[in-house]
């Protein structure tokens, strides 16, 4: 297996994020053969300590070993493996990269926020065809949230900004009570607002978008909860119109619960129950700040952008 060659065969993309470690295997026509998501919380404590916890590394590497079996089963001939916010912030990222390379046979690429945003934009717009005017793609991760604006998947985005705010980071920094207090929630919202203000100062074209597309686990969880379904029904999540009023209602409901209570709510994964309120704060504040009443949810994301970047 190599990182790229001309022979035909399936390709794979693996994204080692702050909260989830995900795999996509696609055939030569781009058809999905495997799409797997495991919550490994690689970034647990990174915002506080600036280092990856050994237990978090071990959890993630164990999942990568499982993914290696899937790569071999499908005879994947090329792949890209990436690491994002947690690895960017960790002084000991090479410890994880070494272990990941041993498990997979490929060393992760460290993506900066701009490249992460570009790949997410490419994935989100796949299959949408021509869009009317610029769209804002919002990729809410565990440690960062990418704001990307553009109109053409081939031309790429016209502006990208990576905010140091995500469901894990916001929870660890502000939402320390279970359930969070009103003061904690207000502090988290204020922090997100300040991050968005900084984004608009740096990339003013973000305000030109006339539609919003939301990516990743927080958005999928909110869309599933709004419909009262679990997160495995991807066809009911992809391109679902999630209203701001629904986001605010679900956020308020979940914020009044303990993490254990949230686990019984349809659509809330066990490994996301403790950080979903933080993610919902980010989603709700972005929608309010930019004035969007609806977020189009997308199950196509950075994995699809990574897979498409590999020569077939």
Domain span at 81: 11-111
Report DSSP letters for 4-43, one per residue: --SS-S-EEEEEE-SSEEEEEEE-TTS-EEEEEEEE--TT
No. of helices (H) and no. of strands (E), the chain: 13, 11
Task: Give the whole-angstrom CA distance, residue 303 versus residue 123.
Answer: 7
Same domain, 282 and 229: yes
Structural domain includes residue 306: no
Structural domain includes residue 121: no
What SS3 class is residue 239?
A: coil
The pTM for the full model equals 0.90
Same domain, 168 and 205: yes
pLDDT per position as a tens digit, 86-115? 898 899 999 999 999 999 999 999 998 889
Structural domain includes residue 5: no
pLDDT per position as a tens digit, 247-296? 999 999 999 999 999 999 999 988 899 999 999 999 999 999 999 999 99
pLDDT per position as a tens digit, 130-189? 667 799 999 999 989 999 999 887 788 999 999 999 999 999 999 999 999 999 999 999
| Phi, psi angles (nearest 5°) of residue 211 | -155, 160
| CATH number where 171 lies | 3.30.420.150
Number of domains comprising the chain:
2
Higher pLDDT, 250 or 3: 250
Which of 111, 141, 169 delimits the end of a domain? 111
């Amino acid at each position: 297996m190599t990182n790229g060659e001309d022979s035909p065969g399936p390709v794979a993309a693996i994204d080692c994020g702050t909260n989830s470690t995900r795999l996509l295997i696609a055939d030569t026509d781009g058809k999905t053969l495997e799409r797997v998501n495991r919550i490994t919380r690689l970034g647990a404590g990174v915002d506080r300590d600036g280092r990856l916890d050994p237990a978090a590394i071990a959890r993630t590497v164990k999942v990568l070993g499982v993914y290696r079996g899937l790569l071999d089963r499908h005879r994947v001939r090329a792949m890209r493996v990436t690491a994002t916010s947690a690895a960017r912030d960790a002084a000991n990222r090479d410890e994880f990269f070494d272990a990941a390379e041993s498990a997979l046979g490929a060393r992760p690429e460290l993506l900066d926020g701009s490249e992460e945003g570009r790949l997410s934009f490419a994935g989100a717009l796949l299959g949408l065809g021509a869009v009317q005017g610029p769209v804002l793609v919002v990729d809410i991760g565990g440690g960062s949230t990418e704001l990307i604006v553009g109109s053409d998947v081939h031309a790429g985005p016209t502006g990208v900004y990576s905010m140091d705010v995500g469901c894990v980071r916001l929870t660890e920094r502000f939402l320390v009570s279970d359930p969070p207090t009103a003061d904690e929630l207000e502090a988290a919202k204020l922090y997100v607002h300040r991050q968005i203000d900084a984004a608009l100062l740096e990339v003013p074209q973000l305000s030109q978008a006339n539609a919003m597309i939301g990516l990743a686990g927080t958005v999928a969880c909110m869309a599933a909860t709004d419909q009262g379904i679990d997160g495995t029904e991807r066809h009911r999540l992809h391109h679902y119109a999630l209203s701001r009023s629904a986001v605010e209602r679900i956020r308020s409901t979940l914020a009044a619960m303990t993490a254990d209570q949230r686990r019984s709510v349809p659509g809330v994964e066990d490994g996301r129950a403790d950080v979903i309120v933080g993610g919902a704060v980010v989603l709700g504040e972005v929608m309010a700040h930019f004035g969007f009443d609806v977020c189009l949810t997308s199950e196509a994301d950075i994995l699809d952008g990574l897979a498409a970047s590999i020569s077939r």
